[in-house]
Amino acid sequence: MKQKISVLIVDDELIVRESLFHWFKKEGYTADTAPSGEAALGMLEKQSFDVLFVDMKMPGMDGLELVRQTRERYPDSSVVIITAYGSIDTAVTAMKKGAADYLLKPFKPDQLALVMEKILHQKRMDNECRFLKGELSKRTRFDNIIGESAGMQQLYTMITDVAETDAPVLILGETGTGKELVAKAIHAKSSRKNSPFIPINCGSLPDTLMESELFGFTRGAFTGAHTGRKGYFEVVEGGTLFLDEIGEVSQRMQVDLLRVLEDKKITKIGETTPREVDFRLISATRQKLDQMIRTGAFRQDLFFRINVITLEVPALRNRASDIPLLVDHFLERYSSETNRQVDRVNPAAMEALICYDWPGNVRELENAVERAVVLSKSRTLTLADFRFLFQGEGSTPAQGSMGTLKQVEKDHVTGILNRTGWNITRTAKILDVSRTTLHRIIRRNELEKP
């Protein structure tokens, strides 16, 4: 294992750097040296080191500042402070900054070996935790859907149950909740999984185009039809057709869809003879179809045809316990895709993400994490990286009024307090202020718990 461990010795004294370098090389480690904190950070930008041995007192950047920056930007690197000016206070300060250990000069080889053994043991423990976390992550995924909350567990059970049947399914849920992922999961677990899964967004197709796309047409059926073409009802043969946003379908197309679902036959544009088709229909909508039926905007008989089984995908705000899992998933994906070394979100930022309403649901969370990863200068995302989400939250001035600074503060703090259920500690973390300061703001604005 030693061969894989790399050590960086940071000290302005040449004799210390050389003596430590030779000891580590003799013990089988990969070692390198830097004469200053600035030089060490430059080397860390180009390559990673498992352990840094950092002198406390150096010209320019001192050891404590190097510990702070290393822990913030390269959290996988362990740092050991070495100094000839030791005291309990400096040891405590170094450990608070994130140092893994502390050695007083002059130290013996046995002490150095003991520190390395302790650090390597901790790294093995961290790797095991990371492995177990990965295994746990596998158990919290259902196909490509992520979540372990009670609402998602119920959804997984429903998906498994309905996949065994051929009944039409209507998936309900707000925009961005992952309705298409649910439809794909049903298809993947059904007997039709080896046939096509074809998704169609009904809201994006004009009526005439949707008709030709679904039913197909023969050569010369209309101007410009130089060749005939199969529609999706034929192409999907034996598979699953997913009609997203079916509430956007026109009245005329609703009639055509109803006929196909009743007869399992289609008539291509330009033909007069119907032909049989074999497909399973899964529909989805964010709209209230029952209300549309009452206003005459959606046919009740079509609703009954597509709504044999209903699945509802919970909004993200109703399964907030899944947010850390989703954040980790998107963090891993976009760090890899963008080749950025961003691998964690600090507790205050995570707390704020959990408390946020997510009107755009999982899609909005994914976009937020991707944006933060792309723009972050650190390996750890902080509240500042997600500040754009909270700008104006709870502080939107009333229409026709710009709002005073005091009113903006009052509305913003009230919004966060209500979101956390008036949890002072969580609210203070989100606002990045102390509990004392938060209490002062509450008193100043005469805020009262509802």
CATH classification code of 405-445: 1.10.10
> Which of 222, 301, 225, 287 lies closest to 258, judged by CA?
301
| 150-314 maps to CATH 3.30.420.40 | no
Question: How do the domains of the chain map onto residue ranges?
Answer: 6-135, 150-314, 320-390, 405-445
Query: Do you know the residue count of the chain?
Result: 450
> Which of 261, 248, 136, 244 lies closest to 181, judged by CA?
244
Q: Which residue has the tokens 């961005």?
A: 176
With contact defined as beta carbons under 8 Å apart, do 422 and 440 qualify? no
Mean pLDDT is highest, among 273-282, 344-353, 400-409, for 273-282
Q: Who's near 129: CB < 8 A, 6+ residues apart?
A: none
pLDDT of residue 402: 47
Which CATH number is 6-135's, of 3.30.1370.60, 3.40.50.2300, 3.40.50.920, 3.60.21.10? 3.40.50.2300
Q: Please give the C-alpha separations between residue 14 and each of 21, 66, 411, in angstroms, as whole numbers.
A: 10, 19, 58
pLDDT of residue 179: 96
Q: Which residue has the tokens 């509305």?
A: 411
Could you write out the DSSP letters of every residue in 212-259?
HHHHEE-TTSSTT--S-EE-HHHHTTTSEEEEETGGGS-HHHHHHHHH
Could you write out the DSSP letters of every residue in 339-356?
T----EE-HHHHHHHHHS
Q: Who's near 343: CB < 8 A, 6+ residues apart?
A: 75, 76, 331, 332, 335, 379, 380
pLDDT of residue 394: 45
Which architecture does CATH list for 320-390?
A: Orthogonal Bundle (1.10)
With contact defined as beta carbons under 8 Å apart, do 395 and 416 qualify? no
With contact defined as beta carbons under 8 Å apart, do 355 and 430 qualify? yes
* 434 token code pair: 């102390």
Q: Who's near 287: CB < 8 A, 6+ residues apart?
A: 245, 247
Q: Which residue has the tokens 């080749």?
A: 339
> Which of 17, 107, 4, 15 lies closest to 53, judged by CA?
17
pLDDT of residue 170: 97
With contact defined as beta carbons under 8 Å apart, do 373 and 338 qualify? yes
Same fold, 6-135 and 405-445: no
DSSP class of residue 421? T
DSSP 3-state of 169: strand
What is the share, in percent, of the chain residues with pLDDT greater than 90?
49
Band of the pLDDT at 446, cuts 50, 70, 90? confident
Band of the pLDDT at 138, cuts 50, 70, 90? low
DSSP 3-state of 273: coil
Please give the Cα distance from 180 to 138 (Å, whole number).
21
The H or E element containing residue 113 is: helix 109-139
For the residues 39-64, what does the mean pLDDT come to?
91
**Which tens digits make up the pLDDT trace of 266-318?**
998 888 888 999 999 999 999 999 999 999 999 999 999 999 999 999 999 99
Please give the Cα distance from 266 to 258 (Å, whole number).
11
